[in-house]
């Protein structure tokens, strides 16, 4: 028996043993919440395993029935994740994502200066991360950046210029890969978790509506990122002929566009169109036809669309006879851990809500007696700080159910605003290598000083807090459709 085992055991059962003596209101759920939060922060066991511990502890402590404990793991949002991961895996397998990146970089747009290339890299990361994970996005772009730096090293004689080049481009890859995910529901787990928690309370947000919230904030963050990096790491003027040649060579090495890539493009476009169709119909159809839009929305839930679109990948023909675009052995390597972690977050939220603990704690922490805009700022800062030291999914699972507990105090509009802002804040985490996988990837290259990540990441955190708070405040003051 080692120290890790005893530490895990004390976190799993210690809170329950202590609280069962005093037996305060909802003590069983309170004990589970404390245990899971400690495990999420310490990572005493893998995060995915901690997610599975939520229903297990709920059953062992008699908080809910077995059926109720595992019900969140059948939520349609988890199947949306699966479908999105399958599509992303097919993109990776056939090089469709790299082709898009190299096509963009080898074009003449924005490539007249190193600053222009940096903007291109930021746009690629931002756009890709709206649809595939920030980890996959960063993993695609970092090798491109390393190749770029190797190509330009003879053109940059001063060591300061070389340092500015590698620091600015690597931070661009990490940060832009995270902020792009804010723009769409499928871009980041906190988005889907916020949507599902709100849906449980009868507040429905469509795919298109979320983009109406997330896209402006994400775009503002992208602009802020480019300006901050330009200010902190000025880039010299160099001849980019070799850079363009490098990207063209990489594009040519992929060969002609294969039929499987066209299939992936078609499947991806089909998913996007079906995701946004209900929202578009709601906007354009007259009032007497709105029931039709609702019927279509009920028939095309986001999870159902994700599964439907990805299923085609398993039947469309591959490049070799007898193969399909995506095989199960390939699809089986997706990030199942994120799905289990997400299910655990939903299960924790359900326990907090149904037991009444979320309402009690939420009313206490986020109730009346405080200016709403000050409260919003506190919530956003809390989301950011949590995400610096734990996963964004875990941060959302901790914060959002408690915010929902204040629904009866602040009302639907204000509480929804707080929850969306909290989800955005939880998608941050720019200060430390452990904050997000993209941060870990770029730090792992050995070419990014930790002090630069901390300094620039801290500045970007503060900038993001201000941007989210500003959009939230504008939305409520002027009743525009940001929030």
Q: What is the pLDDT of residue 136?
A: 75
Mean pLDDT of 382-405: 81
Query: What confidence tier does 275 reach under pLDDT thresholds 50, 70, 90?
Result: confident
Can you say whether residue 285 is alpha, beta or left, with left for phi > 0 and alpha for psi between -120 and 50 degrees? beta
Q: How far apart are CA 131 and CA 85, in angstroms?
A: 9
**Distances in whole angstroms, Cα of residue 164 to Cα of each of 169, 234, 366, 447:** 8, 7, 43, 11
The arithmetic mean of pLDDT across residues 439-461, rounded, is 86
For tokens 């028996």, what's the residue?
1
pLDDT of residue 407: 73
CA 185 to chain CA centroid, Å, is 8
Q: Which residue stretches of 285-323 are H helix?
A: 290-299, 302-313
Question: Mean of the pLDDT values across residues 134-156?
Answer: 75
pLDDT-derived band at 175 (thresholds 50, 70, 90) equals very high
Instruction: Give me the pLDDT at residue 483, please.
Output: 42
Looking at per-residue pLDDT, the higher value among 153 and 77 belongs to 77
Q: Is 162 exposed, middle or buried (0-12, 13-18, 19+ CB in 10 A)?
A: middle
H or E, element range at 55: helix 47-60
| Digit-coded pLDDT (tens) for 193-241 | 888 888 888 888 888 888 888 899 999 999 999 999 999 988 877 766 6
pLDDT at 144 over 60: yes
CB 396 within 8 A of CB 426: yes
Q: What is the structure's pLDDT at 217?
A: 92
Cα-based distances in Å from 65 to 19, 33, 55, 138, 358? 21, 17, 9, 41, 19
State the pLDDT at residue 59: 93
- For residues 15-27, give the mean pLDDT: 84
Residues contacting 408, CB < 8 A, separation 6+: 359, 363
Q: Choose among 191, 339, 206: nearest CA to 274.
A: 206
In this prediction, residue 108 carries a pLDDT of: 59
**DSSP, res 288:** G
Whether 294 contacts 287, CB under 8 Å:
no
Residue with tokens 């922060």: 41
Residue 297 has pLDDT above 80, yes or no: no
- Give the C-alpha separation, 366 to 409, whole Å: 9
Q: How far apart are CA 32 and CA 12, in angstroms?
A: 8
pLDDT tens by residue, 107-122:
655 556 778 888 888 9
Higher pLDDT, 15 or 296: 15
Half-sphere exposure of 32 (CA within 13 A, CB side): 31
| Range with the poorest average pLDDT among 71-75, 87-91, 194-198, 276-280 | 276-280
Task: Find the mean pLDDT for residues 356-381.
Answer: 79
The pLDDT mean for the chain works out to: 83
pLDDT of residue 268: 85
Arithmetic mean of pLDDT, 257-265: 89
| Torsion sign, CA atoms 110, 112, 116, 121 | positive
Q: What is the mean pLDDT of residues 316-345?
A: 86
| pLDDT of amino acid 481 | 45
Confidence of residue 312 (pLDDT cuts 50, 70, 90): very high
Contact between 303 and 79 (Cβ < 8 Å): yes
Element (H, E) at 283: helix 259-284
Does 430 map to a domain?
Answer: no
Could you tell me what percent of the chain has a pLDDT over 70?
92
pLDDT at residue 200 in the model:
83
| Residue 179 neighbours by CB distance under 10 Å | 32
Evaluate whether residue 169 is within a structural domain.
yes
Domain membership flag for residue 147: yes
Report the alpha-carbon distance of residue 431 to residue 445 in Å, rounded: 17
Phi, psi (degrees; rounded to nearest 5) at 366: -120, 25
Least confident of 25-39, 202-216, 305-319, 402-416: 402-416
Among 42-56, 161-175, 363-377, which is the least confidently predicted range?
Answer: 363-377
Q: Which tokens go with 359?
A: 């309402």
122 is a domain residue:
yes
Instruction: Evaluate whether residue 7 is within a structural domain.
Output: no
First-residue to last-residue Cα distance in the chain:
52
Phi, psi (rounded to 5 degrees) for 482: -70, -45
Phi, psi of 324 (to 5 degrees): -115, 165
**pLDDT at residue 434 greater than cutoff 90:** no
Task: Report how far residue 15's alpha carbon sits from residue 18's, in angstroms, rounded to the nearest whole number.
Answer: 5
pLDDT score at 111 = 59
Please give the tally of structural domains in the chain: 1
Confirm whether 410 is domain-assigned.
no
pLDDT the model gives residue 176: 93
Token code pair at residue 360: 């009690």
- The whole-angstrom separation of Cα 391 and Cα 388 is 8
Q: From residue 181, how far is each of 186, 293, 381 by CA, in Å? A: 7, 27, 19
Rounded CA separation 105/124 (Å):
9
Res 146 pLDDT > 50? yes
pTM of the model: 0.79
DSSP 345-369: HHHHHHHHHHHSHHHHHHHHHHSSS
Classify residue 119: in a domain, yes or no: yes
Instruction: Quick: pLDDT tens for 379-390.
Output: 899 888 888 877
Is residue 457 predicted with pLDDT exceeding 60? yes
Residue 196 CA to residue 163 CA, distance in Å, equals: 43
Cα distance between residue 68 and residue 347, in whole Å? 9
Q: What is the CA radius of gyration of the chain?
A: 23
* pLDDT, greater one: 146 or 263: 263
* pLDDT score of 109: 57
The boundaries of the domain holding residue 132 are: 77-189+207-331
The answer to whether residue 304 sits within a structural domain is yes
């Amino acid at each position: 028996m080692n120290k890790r085992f005893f530490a895990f055991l004390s976190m799993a059962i210690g809170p329950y043993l202590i609280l069962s003596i005093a037996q305060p209101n909802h003590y069983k759920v309170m004990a589970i919440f404390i245990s899971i939060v400690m495990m999420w922060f310490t990572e005493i066991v893998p995060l995915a395993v901690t997610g599975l511990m939520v229903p297990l502890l709920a059953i062992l402590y008699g908080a809910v029935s077995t059926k109720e404990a595992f019900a969140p793991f059948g939520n349609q949002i988890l199947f949306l994740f699966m479908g999105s991961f399958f599509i992303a895996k097919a993109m990776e397998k056939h090089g469709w994502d790299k082709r898009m990146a190299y096509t963009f970089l080898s074009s003449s747009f924005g490539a007249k200066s190193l600053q222009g290339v940096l903007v291109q890299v930021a746009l690629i990361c931002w756009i890709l991360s709206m649809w595939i994970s920030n980890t996959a996005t960063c993993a695609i772009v970092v090798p491109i950046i390393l190749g770029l730096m190797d190509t330009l090293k003879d053109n940059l004689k001063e060591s300061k210029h070389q340092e500015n080049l590698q620091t600015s481009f690597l931070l661009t890859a990490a940060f832009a890969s995270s902020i792009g995910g804010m723009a769409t529901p499928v871009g980041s787990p906190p988005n889907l978790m916020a949507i599902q928690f709100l849906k449980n309370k009868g507040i429905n947000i469509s795919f298109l509506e979320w983009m109406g919230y997330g896209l402006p904030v994400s775009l503002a963050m992208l602009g802020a990122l480019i300006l901050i990096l330009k200010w902190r790491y000025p880039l010299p003027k160099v001849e980019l002929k070799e850079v363009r040649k490098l990207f063209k060579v990489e594009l040519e090495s992929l060969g002609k566009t294969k039929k499987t890539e066209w299939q992936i493009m078609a499947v991806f476009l089909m998913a996007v169109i079906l995701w946004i169709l209900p929202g578009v119909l709601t906007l354009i159809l007259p009032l007497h036809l709105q029931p039709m839009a609702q019927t279509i929305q009920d028939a095309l839930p986001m999870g159902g669309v994700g599964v439907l679109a990805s299923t085609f990948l398993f039947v469309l023909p591959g490049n070799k006879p007898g193969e399909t675009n995506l095989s199960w052995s390939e699809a089986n390597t997706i990030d199942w851990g994120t799905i289990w972690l997400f299910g655990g977050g939903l299960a924790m939220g359900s326990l907090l809500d149904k037991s009444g603990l979320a309402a009690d704690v939420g009313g206490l922490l986020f109730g009346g007696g405080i200016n709403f805009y000050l409260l919003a700022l506190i919530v956003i800062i809390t989301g950011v700080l949590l995400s610096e030291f734990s996963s964004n999914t875990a941060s959302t699972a901790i914060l959002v159910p408690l915010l929902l507990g204040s629904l009866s105090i602040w009302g639907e509009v204000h509480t929804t605003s707080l929850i969306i802002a909290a989800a955005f804040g939880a998608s941050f985490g720019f200060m430390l290598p452990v904050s997000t996988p993209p941060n870990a990837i770029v730090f792992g290259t050995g070419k990014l000083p930790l002090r630069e990540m901390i300094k620039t990441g801290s500045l970007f955190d503060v900038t993001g807090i201000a941007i989210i708070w500003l959009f939230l405040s504008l939305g409520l003051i002027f009743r525009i459709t940001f929030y």
